[in-house]
Each structure stands twice: as structure tokens, then as C-alpha cells.
């Protein structure tokens, strides 16, 4: 949508109401994504337009939630994108949706900002998802403690996940205060559990049909609860337009006439839709290619190698020497390449996978990458690039060695130690950091412009 139309659309009506629910939990691995996906599919099957958002930096959950809801899923994070950006995304979604669902990250009060901060900022009621296996009245005590920890949040109720029996559910129900109703008691059912691997959930495109079966089973799972709080739409929330449209703020198509080729396949898929939208807002044309399957690089002015799972496909990447030759030749021209995390591992001279096989990679960046099991790094960082500061995050379980001198480092949110190194060689910018492009469009435009 052109910027002037977005500005007009925002202020034709400064407020809009839409039912909304924020799915949170006392910790990770409580079943938030499974339940959010089940709710999205349930209401979609009823003919409702469901828009789902995911808090914080996450690539895998949104793909699953998009398949469940039938609509794109966007990230919401006040630190990464700013309050006005988040406000605009919610407002525009509310104008078209019958229901907005937001899935939180980690525990309810974890992080700065936390899920609770985001919910409080926009007045979205929170449903607490809790794995209640091995406890009963204690689950009620924990839920009540979460509900009363802060006065600026609204609690819709508790979703008791992995409940053993109706008696188990009744013990929890009886112990809850009236202010925290039991919205659902969901039985233990492995048929609805989403498949996982070492960095999180398996990518949706790898298990599309299996996910469809699990979504259908999950809808039945929801409907089997004796508590029906989740089977009726939550109360409407008032969403307001920001004073100034983020999208309309892009006043100059700095990348006009440029084509950016983006690696996209099951090895490279950690791509925010917001990043693609940002490139297009800057005037660029975006096309895609597969380092796994393609032999030629599309005609382009710049390349983006995003993160993903190159370690799971290292043999095939090493065997595709045609695309390696194309990318190496492109690098030698000095044209821009952005390589993030898995994309950087692909740029190294070699990559050692989880089975300790060492395979040759592109070799356009000095160094070697190696997987290291469960140890790794994660967290929010500001990427202090020569082109400007870009909000970003790290999430990897690999290490690198014999790399060149970095041009900068990530700046951690709360720790003084340097974050992830940032390398620039010829036109290549490489780091373990995943950049959130909308946080600094000017810096992103400079990275994708020839130096």
C-alpha cells in the first residue's frame, strides 16, 4: 500500500475495536504455540478472520501459526521495533480481523520488555497457559501469583495444559479465585504436540501435511474441555492509530531500481516478512533463489543470505558447486551481500555439522564454523555497524574460528561484554546477528548499497 494511502487509512478512523487475547505462560515449553495454533484454526474454521502476532524474535513459530490461521504472522517487540510500529501493526490488523491472538515468549515477566509489558501497553487481556502435570492446587497458586504480580495487566484466566483427568481439573478449578477463571482444562495428548529440533520447532514447510492433521486434532482437543471459555470470542479491545504512521515515514526509496536476491529454502528460511516489506518500501525489488537447488544466481544488485539450518543440509550445499561459483564471483565484484547466522556459516571456508562431518562452504569469508550441540548464544543485541545501529538478536548453537578482525560488535541489552562480532569484507556484511530491518531503514539501505 502506498505511504500516503496508509496515512489516510490510519486516520480515517483513529480507533477500532477487535476481540483479542494474549497467550502467555510462567515459563517456556508450556504449550503456548500449540494452543495458539489450535485457537487460530478453530476460529478460522468458524469463518472468522484471525490475525496472529508473535512476540520477540522468532522465525519458526510464525510459520506454523500462519498455516494454522491462514494469514501472515508478524513479530511484535517494543525493543526491536518501537512502540509506534507495534501499535500500527495491531491497529491495521484490527481493522480487518474478527480476532487477534498474540503469543508471548518465555515466561510472562521475562525479558525487557516482557510479554506483560507488551500486553499492558496495548491493553490486551492475557490467558495464562500452564503445564499442570504433577500439580493441582499449586497450579492455581502460581496462576494467582502471576495475575496479581502487577496491577497494569488484565488476566482472562488459566488454560490448564496436560491435565490428567476431570478430578485433576476440578482441584485446580476449585482452588482458583473468581478473578482467574479456568478457561480450559486440556488433556494430555501427544497427537497435538508440534514437532521440534535443536533450535525450536521444525519448519512448517517440512511437515505441512502432518501439521494439518495436528491442527485438526488440536481443534477437537480444545472442544473436549468442559470449560468453554476459549470457545467464545474474548472481549473487544480498543486499538488506536499511532500519531504518525511508521510505513508513511519512509520518504525516500533509497534502493529504487535495485534487485535483491534472497536465499530461501529449507536451509535458509529465517526471514521476517517485515524485513522483506522494508526492502520493498525502500524501493528494492526482491527475488528468491535456493542455494540447495539452483545452479544460477538471479540477475541482482545485492544478495541476502539469511539464517536457517545449513548444518542439516551441509552435504547438499557443498555438492552444489555451481551456485557456489556464482556467489563467489558475485562477491568478487564487491557488490553487497548480507549474511546472517546460518548465512554467515555458509560463507565460511568450511562447516562442521552435528555429526562432526566437515564440509567445504563458499570460502568468501575467512574462518570455519562448527556446531556445538546444546551450547550456544541467544539474546537481544544492537548491531553497531559502520552504517548505523540496527536492532537484532542472536540465537545459535555453533562457534566460529580463525575469523577476520571485526568492524564492530553487537551491544547487549544489559551486559557490558561485547556481543556478536560483525565482519565486513569487500561488499560482504556478516554476523551471527539477525537484523530487524525496520529498526533502521537508512542503515539497511546503506548495507545493501555498493560501498
Q: Which residues, in sequence order, are CB contacts of 52 under 8 Å at separation 6+?
A: 36, 40, 62, 65, 66, 68, 69, 71, 73, 100, 101, 102, 103
Asked if residue 265 and residue 162 are part of one domain, the reply reads no
**CATH code for the domain in which residue 274 is found:** 3.40.50.880
- The boundaries of the domain holding residue 168 are 14-240
Distance CA 20, CA 391 (A): 27
User: Is there a catalytic annotation at residue 385?
Assistant: no
Asked if residue 281 and residue 194 are part of one domain, the reply reads no
pTM of this structure: 0.87
Asked if residue 235 and residue 264 are part of one domain, the reply reads no
Asked if residue 235 and residue 132 are part of one domain, the reply reads yes
pLDDT number for residue 250: 59
**CATH code for the domain in which residue 180 is found:** 3.40.50.300
Asked if residue 261 and residue 236 are part of one domain, the reply reads no
Asked if residue 96 and residue 39 are part of one domain, the reply reads yes
Active-site hit among 163, 341, 347, 385? 341
Cell readout for 442 is 537508512
| pLDDT tens digits in sequence order for the chain, 451 residues long | 444 454 455 455 599 999 999 999 999 999 999 999 999 999 999 999 999 999 988 888 888 899 999 999 999 999 998 899 999 999 999 999 999 999 999 999 998 899 999 999 999 999 999 999 999 999 999 999 999 999 999 999 999 999 989 999 999 999 999 999 999 998 877 666 765 534 444 554 555 567 788 888 878 888 887 777 888 889 999 999 988 776 656 557 899 999 999 999 999 999 998 999 999 999 999 999 999 999 999 999 999 999 999 999 999 999 999 999 999 999 999 999 999 999 999 999 999 998 899 999 999 999 999 987 665 567 889 999 999 999 999 887 888 999 999 999 999 888 788 889 999 999 999 999 999 999 999 999 999 998 7
In a domain, 100, yes or no: yes
Split into its structural domains, the chain has a count of 2
Any bridge partners for residue 340, and if so which?
431
Asked if residue 301 and residue 219 are part of one domain, the reply reads no
Asked if residue 395 and residue 344 are part of one domain, the reply reads yes
Asked if residue 282 and residue 210 are part of one domain, the reply reads no
The Cα angle at residue 305 between residues 265 and 289, in degrees rounded to 5: 45
Asked if residue 130 and residue 55 are part of one domain, the reply reads yes
Distance CA 11, CA 178 (A): 40
Amino acid at each position: 500500500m502506498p505511504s500516503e494511502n496508509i496515512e489516510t487509512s490510519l486516520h480515517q478512523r483513529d480507533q477500532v475495536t477487535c476481540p483479542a487475547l494474549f497467550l502467555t505462560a510462567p515459563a517456556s515449553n508450556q504449550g503456548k504455540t500449540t494452543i495458539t495454533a489450535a485457537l487460530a484454526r478453530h476460529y478460522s474454521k468458524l469463518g472468522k478472520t484471525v490475525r496472529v502476532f508473535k512476540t520477540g524474535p522468532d522465525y519458526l513459530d510464525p510459520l506454523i501459526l500462519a498455516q494454522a490461521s491462514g494469514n501472515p504472522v508478524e513479530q511484535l517487540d517494543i525493543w526491536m521495533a518501537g512502540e509506534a510500529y507495534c501499535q500500527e501493526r495491531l491497529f491495521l490488523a484490527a481493522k480487518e480481523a474478527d480476532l487477534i491472538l498474540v503469543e508471548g515468549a518465555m515466561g510472562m515477566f521475562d525479558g525487557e520488555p516482557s510479554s506483560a509489558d507488551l500486553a499492558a501497553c496495548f491493553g490486551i487481556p492475557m490467558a495464562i497457559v500452564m503445564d499442570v502435570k504433577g500439580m493441582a492446587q499449586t497450579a492455581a497458586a502460581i496462576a494467582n501469583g502471576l495475575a496479581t504480580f502487577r496491577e497494569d495487566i488484565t488476566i482472562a484466566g488459566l488454560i490448564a495444559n496436560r491435565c490428567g483427568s476431570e478430578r485433576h481439573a476440578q482441584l485446580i478449578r476449585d482452588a482458583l479465585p473468581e478473578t482467574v477463571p479456568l478457561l480450559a482444562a486440556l488433556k494430555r495428548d501427544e497427537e497435538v504436540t508440534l514437532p521440534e529440533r535443536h533450535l525450536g520447532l521444525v519448519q512448517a514447510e517440512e511437515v505441512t501435511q502432518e501439521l494439518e492433521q495436528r491442527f485438526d486434532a488440536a481443534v477437537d482437543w480444545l472442544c473436549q474441555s468442559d470449560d468453554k471459555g476459549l470457545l467464545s470470542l474474548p472481549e473487544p479491545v480498543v486499538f488506536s492509530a499511532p500519531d504518525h504512521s511508521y510505513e508513511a515515514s519512509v520518504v525516500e526509496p533509497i534502493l529504487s531500481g535495485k534487485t535483491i536476491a534472497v536465499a530461501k529454502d529449507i536451509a535458509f528460511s529465517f526471514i521476517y516478512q517485515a524485513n522483506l516489506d522494508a526492502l520493498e518500501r525502500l524501493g528494492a525489488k526482491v527475488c528468491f533463489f535456493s542455494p540447495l537447488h539452483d545452479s544460477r544466481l538471479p540477475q541482482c544488485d545485492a544478495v541476502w543470505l539469511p539464517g536457517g539450518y545449513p548444518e542439516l543440509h551441509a552435504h547438499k550445499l557443498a555438492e552444489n558447486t555451481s551456485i557456489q561459483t556464482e556467489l563467489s564471483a558475485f562477491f568478487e565484484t564487491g557488490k553487497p551481500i548480507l549474511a546472517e547466522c546460518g548465512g554467515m556459516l555458509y560463507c565460511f571456508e568450511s562447516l562442521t555439522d552435528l555429526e562432526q562431518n566437515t564440509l567445504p562452504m563458499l570460502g568468501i569469508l575467512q574462518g570455519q564454523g562448527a556446531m556445538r550441540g546444546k551450547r550456544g548464544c541467544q539474546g537481544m543485541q544492537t548491531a553497531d555497524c559502520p552504517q548505523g545501529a540496527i536492532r537484532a538478536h542472536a540465537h545459535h548453537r555453533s562457534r566460529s574460528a580463525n575469523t577476520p578482525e571485526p568492524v564492530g560488535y553487537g551491544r547487549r541489552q544489559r551486559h557490558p561484554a561485547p556481543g556478536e562480532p560483525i565482519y565486513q569484507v569487500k561488499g560482504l556484511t556478516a554476523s551471527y546477528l539477525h537484523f530487524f530491518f525496520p529498526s533502521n531503514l537508512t542503515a539497511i539501505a546503506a548495507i545493501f548499497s555498493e560501498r
